[in-house]
Amino acid sequence: MRDTFHPVAWLAWLAAAALPALSTRNPLYLSLLMLAVGVTYVALGRRSPLAKSWGAFVRFGALLWLLTIPFVALTAHYGTIVLFQLPANWPVIGGPITGEALLFGLASGLSLISLLLVFAVFNVAVDQARLLRMTPGFVYQAGVVTAIAVAFVPQMIISWQTISEAQQVRGHRVRGPRDLLPLIMPLLVMALERAIQLAESMEARGFGGQVITGNSTARARGQLVMLLGLGALAAGLAGAGFWPDRPVLLGALLGAGAAALIWSFWDQGRRVSRSRYHRWLWGRLDRVLLVVSMGAAIGWLAVWLGQGEWLFYYPYPPYSPWPAFQPFLGLLILLVALPALLLRPEMTEM
């Protein structure tokens, strides 16, 4: 898969796109975000076989959304816009079905599917192997495990599609749950075989061995500093509940703990020897995307922390069911579509 932008630039884009989806239920912002992310997705196209599987994820999100709306509408019987009444003696769903509940279900589902779309586009745009290389040295092994875990579902979907095609060629038709057995069994076998192959290949590459160089004294020092740092952090956090009138002491504890941990991580990271065979180059477009996305993310974060009411939407009384729209926030969301404008067609070919 060819590079589009630098993974760091894409990470900044991910922050700019995911923040609105995480912080608001306002359907106007969310629908605008979905459209902006959709335009980026169209510009990227299907750039890898793995990317195809995310279409299934998005369809699953849409299905969840469609289920959320009636679920909320049938279970939350509160609001002034009464659409119709169900008999009150019906358990759980009995009572007035309100427009507010319908709106809330709609907005909640929008938030979910927006987030799914954002991550789907991010996975299409960025190769996971490249992301894996970016993990800091001291969490390299955890990064490998995480990358494998993240790739589990897409790979399973690809395997399912492969098995289905093979069985269809043999004349297999799915008419009921029992007909799924010829599909599930090979899927299970394939998953086990892949896990064994993965374990063997990782073992052959020395995964799990001692990657941190240095003598035992240095390692013991690092572990001691980490222990002290964690202890100071725990004491500071617990003390915030017991002695809130001693901010200086608590601040000192938290600061010392954080500093000790950061030093410990840095020390461990610099002693991990890793080989890099490919050097990434920063281009002008990478810098543009990074700066603009960082600006959008910081702007949104500032609004979230400082003007939280701008993101506010809750259709139930006493609040208004009419969502408000701040043009400034709309402009921040428009910036999410920037990759679509920057990407040249030749950059998106497989």
Q: Is residue 253 within the footprint of other proteins (CB under 8 A)?
A: no
Q: Are strands 95-98 and 82-86 parallel, antiparallel or unpaired?
A: antiparallel
Q: Is residue 218 within the footprint of other proteins (CB under 8 A)?
A: no
Which of 84, 91, 171, 305 touches other proteins by CB under 8 A?
Answer: 91
Q: Is residue 18 within the footprint of other proteins (CB under 8 A)?
A: no
Residue span binding other proteins (CB under 8 A) among the ranges 2-10, 158-166, 234-242, 246-254: 234-242
Q: Which is nearer to other proteins, 99 or 186 (CB)?
A: 99
Q: Is residue 16 within the footprint of other proteins (CB under 8 A)?
A: no
How far apart (Å, rounded) are the C-alpha atoms in residues 35 and 22?
16
Q: Is residue 74 within the footprint of other proteins (CB under 8 A)?
A: no
Backbone angles phi, psi at 71, to 5 degrees: -65, -50
End-to-end CA distance of the chain: 5
Q: Is residue 309 within the footprint of other proteins (CB under 8 A)?
A: yes
Q: Is residue 334 within the footprint of other proteins (CB under 8 A)?
A: yes
How far apart (Å, rounded) are the C-alpha atoms in residues 71 and 143?
37
Tracing tokens 């990227």 back to the chain, one arrives at 44
Q: Is residue 28 within the footprint of other proteins (CB under 8 A)?
A: yes
Q: Is residue 308 within the footprint of other proteins (CB under 8 A)?
A: yes
Which of 17, 39, 103, 131 touches other proteins by CB under 8 A?
Answer: 39
Residue span binding other proteins (CB under 8 A) among the ranges 147-155, 177-185, 276-284, 328-336: 328-336
Which of 108, 123, 159, 264 touches other proteins by CB under 8 A?
Answer: 108
Q: Strand pairing partners for 98?
A: 82
Q: Which is nearer to other proteins, 72 or 115 (CB)?
A: 72
- CB 294 to other proteins: min, Å: 21
Q: Is residue 57 within the footprint of other proteins (CB under 8 A)?
A: no
Q: Is residue 346 within the footprint of other proteins (CB under 8 A)?
A: yes
Distances 196 to 136, 139, 152, 189 between C-alpha atoms, Å:
27, 23, 14, 11
Residue span binding other proteins (CB under 8 A) among the ranges 6-14, 30-38, 149-157, 284-292: 30-38
* CB burial readout 90-116, b (16+ within 10 A) else e: eeeeebbbbebbbbbbbbbbbbbbbbb
Kindly give, in sequence order, each residue whose CB lies less than 8 Å from that of residue 221, ignoring residues fewer than 6 positions away. Answer: none
Backbone angles phi, psi at 243, to 5 degrees: -125, 65
